[in-house]
Amino acid sequence: MPIRVEIERCQRTFDKNYSHFIRHTPLWKLPGKALGVNCAEVWLKLEHLQTGGSFKARGMLNRLMSNVIPTSGVVVASGGNAGIATAAAAKELGVHCEVFVPEITSPAKRARLAALGAHVVVAGAAYADALRACLTRQQETGALLTHAYDQREVLVGAGTIGLEIEQQGGLPDSVLVSVGGGGLIGGLASWFEQRSRLVALEPERAPTLFRAREEGRPVDVVISGIAADSLGAQRLGALAWEITQAQVVDALLLDDESIRAAQLWLWKELKLAVEPAAALPLAALHSGRYLPRVDEMVCLVICGANMDPASLN
């Protein structure tokens, strides 16, 4: 079945059975000048207002509702957001959830996981370490494995954001998207299919897609930097690699300073409290890494808000 058809089916199920859980997040349209950008309009898809504080809720719920969940529940490895989304979906469905996180996961995200009733296990310094521990645990318990980004149901759930954008505003000229393991851009690219220009954005210190393109295949990269707890996948997912090769031309890198500046700008000027990963699209515009046409309608996917509010001071 084509992924676009699966995305439409997923959205119908969300609307019919889980409209109290999966939100239709706002699409905020502003003149480019309101954000200091020389283009016609900037659309902000406010997915940080989604259940669990990030876009991840869509993919995690789709994964859970598409499978029979054993009595041992579900297990996931995550830098934070996928774990929070899985824990929220598991709570909604009344099943046990175990989340493996790396040491770099912020205290705010760990606290959120505990508040949702998840059993939290800190395993290793980076996401890859947590994933290895998670896979071992899954083999021991038989729990349903939810991958943070490299499962078809997860990618399809993320694709419903693209469907919503088109329903709410039509087709933007371009869509700027943060990339970690690739679930978000894979889902969006599957929906838009080059009807809008997809621009992949990564921190210089977490360049999974960029390095994959240099090497001609997904490869392990060293992860660090300001957005590592959200965009901390060590390797681009196989599904995202296949889809982005066919559907995404632009892959750009941003330094931590521009990401931090954009995060603070969103808070100070628009009162949007978001995590660094959500600020990459605006950073691409403010830094000049992406230069839109003067008549362009640019959509920024504001992907998550799970951070310590004190960090915005």
Convert the pLDDT of each residue in 7-23 to its tens digit. Answer: 999 999 999 999 999 99
Task: With cut-offs at 50, 70 and 90, classify the pLDDT of residue 161.
Answer: very high
Write the DSSP symbol of residue 266. Answer: H
Q: The pTM is what? A: 0.94
Same-domain check for residues 44 and 173: yes
Q: Cα separations (Å) of 56 from 140, 165, 306?
A: 26, 16, 11
Which residues of the chain form beta strands (DSSP E)?
Answer: 27-31, 41-46, 74-77, 97-101, 119-122, 144-146, 174-178, 197-203, 250-254, 297-302
Question: Please, are residues 90 and 67 in contact by the beta-carbon 8 Å criterion?
Answer: no
Q: How many angstroms separate the CA atoms of 245 and 261, rounded? A: 30
Is 151 domain-assigned?
A: no
Phi/psi of residue 66, nearest 5 degrees? -95, 0
Q: What percent of the chain stands above pLDDT 70? A: 100
Here the tokens at position 153 are 């149901």
Same-domain check for residues 60 and 166: no
Same-domain check for residues 169 and 99: no
- Regarding predicted confidence, which is higher, 127 or 206? 206
Same-domain check for residues 46 and 181: yes
- Is residue 256 scored above 90 in pLDDT? yes
Same-domain check for residues 296 and 175: yes
Half-sphere exposure of 33 toward its Cβ, with a 13 Å CA cutoff?
A: 0
Question: Please, are residues 303 and 178 in contact by the beta-carbon 8 Å criterion?
Answer: yes
- Is residue 1 scored above 80 in pLDDT? no
Whole domain around residue 49: which residue ranges? 3-53+159-312
Task: Tell me what the pLDDT averaged over the chain comes to.
Answer: 94
Q: How many angstroms separate the CA atoms of 277 and 134, rounded? A: 24
Closest to 202 (Cα-Cα) out of 151, 140, 171, 244 = 244
Same-domain check for residues 163 and 266: yes
How much is the average pLDDT of 116-136? 91
Query: For every residue of 26-70, which 3-state class applies, written as one string?
Result: CEEEEEHHHHCCCCCEEEEEEHHHCHHHECHHHHHHHHHHCCCCC
Please give the radius of gyration of the chain, using alpha carbons only, rounded to the nearest integer. Answer: 18
Q: How many angstroms separate the CA atoms of 132 and 235, rounded? A: 13
Same-domain check for residues 257 and 192: yes
Question: Please, are residues 282 and 35 in contact by the beta-carbon 8 Å criterion?
Answer: yes
Closest to 147 (Cα-Cα) out of 75, 224, 219 = 75
C-beta neighbour count of 260 within 10 angstroms: 16
Quote the number of domains for the chain: 2
Q: How many angstroms separate the CA atoms of 178 and 303, rounded? A: 8
Is 197 domain-assigned?
A: yes
Same-domain check for residues 297 and 263: yes
Same-domain check for residues 173 and 287: yes
- Is residue 228 scored above 90 in pLDDT? no
Same-domain check for residues 168 and 254: yes
User: Residue 311 in 3-state DSSP?
Assistant: helix
Same-domain check for residues 10 and 31: yes
Q: What is the CATH number of the domain that holds 80?
A: 3.40.50.1100
Same-domain check for residues 292 and 229: yes
Amino acid occupying residue 271: K
- Is residue 53 scored above 80 in pLDDT? yes
